[in-house]
Amino acid sequence: MTTTASVPEAPGALPLVGHALPLFRNPLGFLRSLPAYGDLVQIRIGPQRAIVLCTPELTRYVLVSDRVFDKGGVLFDRAREVLGNSVLTCPHSQHRRQRRLTQPAFHHVRLAGQAEVMLEHVNAVTACWNDGQVIDVPADMEKITSRVLLATMFSTMLSPETMAHTSDDLTVVLAGIYRRMFLPAVLDGLPTTANRRYHRANGRLRHTVTSAVGGRLGAVAHDGGGDDLLSILLNARDPEGDEPGLSDIELADQAVTFFMAGVETAATTLAWSLHLLSRNRGVEERLHAEVDAVVGGRPATYQDIPKLPLAGGIVRETLRLYPPVPLITRTTTRDTRLGGCCIPIGTTIAYSLYLIHHRPDTYSDPGRFDPGRWAATAGRSPERDAFFAFGGGARKCMGDQFGLAQAVLALATIATRWKLRPAAGTDSRPQLSSTLRPKRLRMHTIDRAGDAPHY
């Protein structure tokens, strides 16, 4: 009988930190190397062992079997320090109720109104660009996505200064979650600079959100509140449950989760998209032709999205090439079998979207940037069946359409006026931090309306 003891272990692990060095020094190369050892491969995340799934079939099976492969493992253990017991991190036994109560916040009928907020902040950030300027692309994309999330979540409750501080705190907290994954828990309480920054940022973030929840509670009691995400959560009722709505603690957990999940991942996807376009001029020219034909110089709208298939394909292909969170964990709730192996209860299972999205036997020429993979004429294919950017099963990301709409509208708005070209000092090597982001992506802005030089 095959057991976990017989699952091969990837080479290169060190005492205490496990495979932290290859994961931080060359995360993508390390992940790509794992299928050579088998369909199941053991790695060490800090002091803990995890079994990595190396096939799309096993990944899909784990995603849809969320009762057996529950949210857990070292990633979610650390994430709960920040997110609490939210719809993203809660166990299977609590998920159905939380999903029913939070899903209305992302109902498709609200997207048109949310898209107006998205475009307002895309235009506000890009209006500050000047021809020939050098911008920090990830930083500017994070300005857009953080402002969008804060505006759609809290409406006008937070001042611009508070919004800026909250965005900074989020960056510190996200980076801390991944760093702490690889460290023994005994080090958590040490008064290091990194620990102090992490705890301060986490405390401020929770305080800001909790205060906003309290303020919105008062508004709802007085006049019913507004139509922002937080008001929708406050008014949500569960006809199937004993508890009619979300508690104050649950509301704060959901708010932090929505903010955290929606800011960094969306910003990183946009940054990679702009980087890939600068390296693929043919695709960039086709995108400019598409937005010129559809938008024609006016602001893009939510109704334009179906008319921008290339922009949508660029976003999906970017998510395939550079999934924001490249390694995710689950934990087994009972003894089970997986890939012909007996897996005991409490085993950490890990899956890598990057690994699956780069298998050459699933994606033809997987390293090539090809938005045409996602064209409507492509039909169903093994490539589409192996695309897990938004997860799968009952715990599939419920904000997927919000995120896709934001990315397509931002990309179309930028492409209407601007080209971006790499600037001196750019280092686009992927870096595993809070997300899989370019190490340093600085780019020249080129106004398409002028005769600016091509850098």
**pLDDT exceeds cutoff 70 at 455:** no
User: pLDDT-derived band of residue 454, with 50, 70 and 90 as boundaries?
Assistant: very low
pLDDT single digits (tens) 169-222: 877 887 787 777 777 677 777 888 888 998 999 898 888 878 877 776 666 555
In this predicted structure, which of 23-37, 181-195, 382-396 has the lowest mean pLDDT?
A: 181-195
Position 323 scores a pLDDT of 93
pLDDT single digits (tens) 19-29: 988 888 888 89
pLDDT single digits (tens) 304-329: 999 999 999 999 999 999 998 888 99
Mean pLDDT of the chain: 87
Ranked by mean pLDDT, the top range of 124-133, 142-151, 228-237, 380-389 is: 124-133
pLDDT, mean of residues 31-60: 94
pLDDT single digits (tens) 356-365: 999 999 999 9
Three-state SS for the chain is CCEHHHCCECCCCECCCECHHHHHHCHHHHHHHHHHHCCEEEEEECCEEEEEECCHHHHHHHHHCCCCEEECHHHHHHHHHHHCCCCCCCCHHHHHHHHHHHHHHHCHHHHHHHHHHHHHHHHHHHCCCCCCCEEEHHHHHHHHHHHHHHHHHHCCCCCHHHHHHHHHHHHHHHHHHHHHHCCCHHHCCCCCHHHHHHHHHHHHHHHHHHHHHHHHHHHHHHHCCCCCHHHHHHHCCCCCCCCCCCCHHHHHHHHHHHHHHHHHHHHHHHHHHHHHHHHCHHHHHHHHHHHHHHCCCCCCCHHHHHHCHHHHHHHHHHHHHCCCCCCEEEEECCCEEECCEEECCCCEEEECHHHHHCCCCCCCCCCCCCHHHHCHHHCCCHHHHCCCCCCCHHHCCCCHHHHHHHHHHHHHHHHHHEEEEECCCCEEEEEECCCEEEEECEEEEEECCCCCCCC
pLDDT, mean of residues 424-435: 83
Position 167 scores a pLDDT of 75
